């Protein structure tokens, strides 16, 4: 299967150069970067720290002057370029790198055009932008853990997030996964862990096992008390992980109370003898 061709568009006004390796690593987990562009007013000394990162990673800087104080011209330039790239028809997806919720409508429009949209930003990114993307990766979280999560699904088609909220926590995760397993159960009770991971990402674009202190999806699922994992070996020798709800313990059979002993019935003869 051919790698997806992606456009990486970075908002330099909103993202630090310390994340450049993380950005490229995340993009590489989905496909190949057909173009890499970064937008900002490069006459501003605040963006000087980006210089080495751009040269070393072949990222093309796009100059956008700030014409009016308080107005973000960089956003407009990114949006215009993104739409031009969308209509070119040469790309499979976009990586929109910003924590700015102003890109919410752009992400939604790119998905309407049938493109995979990967959002990247810091944890301060607001819910509407996060939810507008197929997946959203928190750069500060990934940088802290030092590796890209294995929950990415490069071959997944763009889907609409259907969760009521993009954030899930330790209290709700077990219930959510049990519901997914019940939906996908083929009658055996067991479901592939990869299918569970795909559904979590589709419904909660910012889902990441690192939020729960795990380094892989399987290790994360194994840490959820309500779940049980099993490894099966395919005919080609490859292992596949399955997960199911922990079976409820079987109720022990109730012990029957011994029947009360009935007093022996007295015969008429016995009664007469007693009276005598």
Q: What percent of the chain has pLDDT over 90?
A: 37
**The two three-digit tokens of residue 25, written as one number:** 């690593």
Residue 219 belongs to what H/E stretch? helix 217-222
- Does residue 69 carry a pLDDT above 60? no
For residues 145 and 66, what is the distance between their CA atoms, to the nearest angstrom? 35
Give the residue with greater pLDDT, 144 vs 177: 177
- Which residues does 89 contact at the CB level (< 8 Å), separation at least 6? none
Q: Which residues pair with 63 in a beta bridge?
A: 40
Q: What percent of the chain has pLDDT over 70?
A: 78
Domains 1-160 and 163-249 share a fold: no
Contact 246, 190 (CB under 8 A): no
SS3 174: helix
Per-domain residue ranges for the chain? Answer: 1-160, 163-249
- Does residue 205 carry a pLDDT above 50? yes
Contact 119, 205 (CB under 8 A): yes
Give the residue with greater pLDDT, 205 vs 27: 27
Chain centre distance of CA 126? 16
Q: What pLDDT, on the 0 to 100 scale, is given for residue 145?
A: 72
E runs forming strands in 105-165 = 116-121, 135-138
Q: What pLDDT, on the 0 to 100 scale, is given for residue 170?
A: 67
Mean pLDDT of the chain: 81
CA nearest to 73, candidates 13, 7, 9, 8 = 13
What CATH number is given for 1-160 in this structure? 3.40.50.1010
pLDDT digits (tens, 9 = 90+) for 213-252: 888 899 989 988 889 999 988 888 889 999 999 887 776 6
Rounded average pLDDT over 43-52: 86
CA nearest to 108, candidates 92, 128, 90 = 128
32-46, 92-106, 196-210, 261-275: segment of lowest average pLDDT: 261-275
For residues 276 and 272, what is the distance between their CA atoms, to the nearest angstrom? 6
Q: What pLDDT, on the 0 to 100 scale, is given for residue 163?
A: 38
> Can you name the CATH fold of 163-249?
Nucleotidyltransferase; domain 5 (3.30.420)
- Does residue 91 carry a pLDDT above 90? yes
Give the residue with greater pLDDT, 84 vs 68: 84
């Amino acid at each position: 299967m051919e790698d997806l061709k992606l456009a990486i568009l970075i908002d330099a006004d909103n993202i630090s150069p310390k994340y450049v390796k993380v950005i490229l690593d995340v993009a590489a987990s989905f496909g190949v970067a057909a173009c890499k562009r970064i937008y900002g007013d490069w006459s501003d000394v605040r963006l000087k720290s980006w210089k080495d990162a751009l040269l070393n990673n072949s990222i093309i800087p796009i100059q956008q002057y700030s014409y009016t104080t308080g107005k973000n011209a960089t956003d407009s330039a990114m949006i215009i370029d993104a739409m031009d790239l969308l209509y070119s028809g040469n790309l499979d997806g976009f990586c929109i790198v910003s924590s700015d919720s102003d890109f919410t409508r752009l992400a939604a429009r790119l998905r309407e055009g049938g493109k995979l949209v990967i959002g990247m930003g810091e944890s301060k990114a607001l819910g509407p932008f996060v939810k507008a993307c197929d997946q959203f990766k928190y750069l500060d979280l990934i940088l802290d853990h030092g590796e890209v999560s294995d929950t990415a699904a490069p071959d997944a088609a763009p889907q609409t997030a259907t969760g009521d909220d993009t954030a899930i926590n330790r209290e709700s995760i077990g219930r959510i996964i049990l519901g997914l397993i019940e939906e996908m159960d083929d009658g055996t009770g067991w479901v592939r862990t990869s299918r569970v991971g795909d559904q979590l990402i589709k419904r909660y674009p910012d889902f990441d096992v690192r939020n729960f202190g795990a380094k892989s999806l399987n290790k994360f699922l194994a840490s959820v008390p309500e779940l049980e994992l099993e490894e099966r070996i395919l005919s080609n020798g490859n292992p596949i992980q399955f997960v199911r709800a922990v079976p409820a313990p079987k109720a022990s059979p109730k012990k029957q109370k011994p029947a009360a002993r009935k007093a022996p019935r007295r015969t008429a003869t016995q009664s007469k003898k007693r009276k005598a």
